[in-house]
Amino acid sequence: MITIFSAKKVRTMNPSNPEATHIAVRDGSILGVGSLDEVSGWGEYQLDDTFVDKVIVPGFVEAHAHVMAGGMMMLPYLGYFDRPRADGTTAMGIKSYDQLIEALKAEDARLEDPNEQIVAVGFDPIYFSDQPRLTCHHLDQVSSTRPIYLHHASGHLATVNTPMLKVNNITRDLRVEGLGRDAEGELDGELREPPAMTLCKSGYRVFQFTNSTEQALRDFAALACNAGITTCTDLAGSAILAPKTYDMTTRVTSEAAFPMRLVQYNIPAMPGDAADFSEVAERVVELRRNNSDKFRSPGIKFVLDGSIQGFSALIKEPGYFSGEDHGQLLAVPEQLKDWLLPFHKAGLNIHMHCNGNKTQDLALETIEAILCEAPRPDHRHTITHAQLTTQAQLRKMAKLGLCANFFANHIWFWGDQHYDITVGPERANQIEPCASAIREGISFSIHSDAGVTPLGSLHTMWCAVNRTTPSGRVLGEVEKISAAEALKAVTIGAAYQLHLDDEIGSLEAGKKADFAILDDDPLTVDPMAIRDIGVWGTVLGGRLFKAANR
């Protein structure tokens, strides 16, 4: 049976047919988009007017997120900003160190087993100028016996208390990069990047396990549906490292009631680990042969550095504006070409995590060397985050055919901190340079990196369009883009980056019937209201999925 959906307006993101009022769907695919007269000629149909007062846009495509967004909310949330939960409720933010200690003490009192550890998520000390670093001494106020592991918002740092250090046999004699120390050389409880974080095995494993559970995946999909996202990446897939998780993901995503298409990019090895990348490439190709309608494995991701707000991203001169520089490269420069080349030759898509622009120089030089050795048209390799990309780097990206995936949400969540603390006014005004990417002809998307920030394509659009920080500062007026350009970035632009633009990202005949159902038109509302547009839910393959709060 053919179903024709009617709407107040349909924004197709198809430049040949940009607006419509009706969409005809059969067997999960679009037959036609236009007026009722134009789409009713396919045969007998039923008219669905559920969305007659709504605006339909292509289902949002989130090209950089993590199942962690679902799993982390199963743990105590101690972030600065309020955070939505999968059931439509909100976890309230922590606004001071005193609130942090109180929240952890409440968790300590709740636990009956005196030996059970506390693993919590979301805190970031950079928001508190009076105490810009969180140490074991703060957490020891909560308990001198119960181990505590606090995973920072960036995902690149953690802070633990003294009992957690003791239970994992971490002493000052260990010489591991990323172990924080005080002026006397004693451990201060801060762990920077995986080589240091994984030393606290008991806490880190709880965090990792929670994020790989079936409930985490289901909550991740629910969060996506609530935000109008129909295709979402897991850019830290573990199929290679954890086959059981892959099997669970295959089973859950195959369910008819699962409300999202999942695109999983595997990490070939954790930073600091060794691997035979030729063998890994063959395994990823094998995974790709198992692609299904709602679960794809098109490529791999390498994490090349840390986070700007954690001072562990590697940035060019003049370096960090203030604070202590912990710039940390998580790849061996001389080996990076050999690491990436097997995946490139296998036809796999490569995403490279580069927060710092010095790291991005390495990525660009490596991709250039790879393309000289093994030319490959239409590779669509991607610099992901690309926060401090310079104009020279943008020009080189354009020449090399690279895509950019800008972390637009940083403008809101850390924009003031970047201006005042991490990189200073000039570079903060140029962060996430979407308008410059358009001028250079670079295909790009914008993302949330959930759970670093919440899933929500309307919010990432809002950030790229308005470039406004919590203090009211506008970061880089000339890097603002239009609402139409932002909508392109979270639909067809993101789909192109994932090599899926022939299936999703726009509403046109032959593509999957994936829609986001909105209460208003993001292209005509006041730009400052974009993030406040209500989301009714989604349509995935012609099937309706209502958001939790509707």
Query: Which CATH number belongs to the domain containing residue 152 in this structure?
Result: 3.10.310.70
Residue 168, φ and ψ in degrees, nearest 5: -105, 10
State how far the Cα of 210 lies from the Cα of 72, in Å rounded to an integer.
7
Q: Write down the pLDDT at residue 172.
A: 92
User: Which residue is listed with tokens 């192109």?
Assistant: 496
Instruction: Identify the bridge partners of residue 91 per DSSP, sorted by sequence position.
Output: 83
Q: For residue 227, is it within any domain?
A: no
Q: For residue 194, is it within any domain?
A: yes
pLDDT digits (tens, 9 = 90+) for 177-233: 899 999 899 999 999 998 899 999 999 999 988 888 999 999 999 999 999 999 999
Calculate the average pLDDT of the chain.
95
Q: For residue 494, is it within any domain?
A: no
Q: For residue 487, is it within any domain?
A: no
CB-based contacts of 294, cutoff 8 Å, min separation 6 = 253, 254, 258, 260, 261, 262
Q: Give me 391's structure tokens.
A: 């104009």
State how far the Cα of 87 lies from the Cα of 115, in Å rounded to an integer.
31
Instruction: Give the domain extent around 124.
Output: 71-208
State how far the Cα of 510 lies from the Cα of 59, in Å rounded to an integer.
15
State how far the Cα of 359 lies from the Cα of 356, in Å rounded to an integer.
5
Q: For residue 114, is it within any domain?
A: yes
- The answer to whether the beta carbons of residues 217 and 67 sit under 8 Å apart is yes
Q: For residue 178, is it within any domain?
A: yes
Q: Write down the pLDDT at residue 382.
A: 98
User: Which residue is listed with tokens 């988009």?
Assistant: 33
Residue 439, φ and ψ in degrees, nearest 5: -60, -35
Q: Give me 148's structure tokens.
A: 């505590």
Burial 480-499 (b: 16+ CB within 10 A, else e): bbebebbbbbbbbbbbbbbb
Q: How does residue 272 score in pLDDT terms, banded at 50, 70 and 90? A: low
pLDDT digits (tens, 9 = 90+) for 241-258: 678 888 999 999 999 999
Q: For residue 193, is it within any domain?
A: yes
Q: Give me 56's structure tokens.
A: 């339909």
Calculate mean pLDDT across residues 140-158. 95
Calculate mean pLDDT across residues 366-380. 97
Q: Give me 109's structure tokens.
A: 């009192």
* Overall domain count for the chain: 1
Q: For residue 53, is it within any domain?
A: no
State how far the Cα of 322 lies from the Cα of 34, in Å rounded to an integer.
55
Q: Write down the pLDDT at residue 64.
A: 98
Q: How does residue 267 score in pLDDT terms, banded at 50, 70 and 90? A: confident
Instruction: Give me the numbers of helices (H) and strands (E) for the chain, helices first please.
Output: 20, 23
- Count CB neighbours of 400 within 10 A: 16
Q: Write down the pLDDT at residue 69.
A: 95
pLDDT digits (tens, 9 = 90+) for 314-335: 999 999 999 778 888 888 899 9
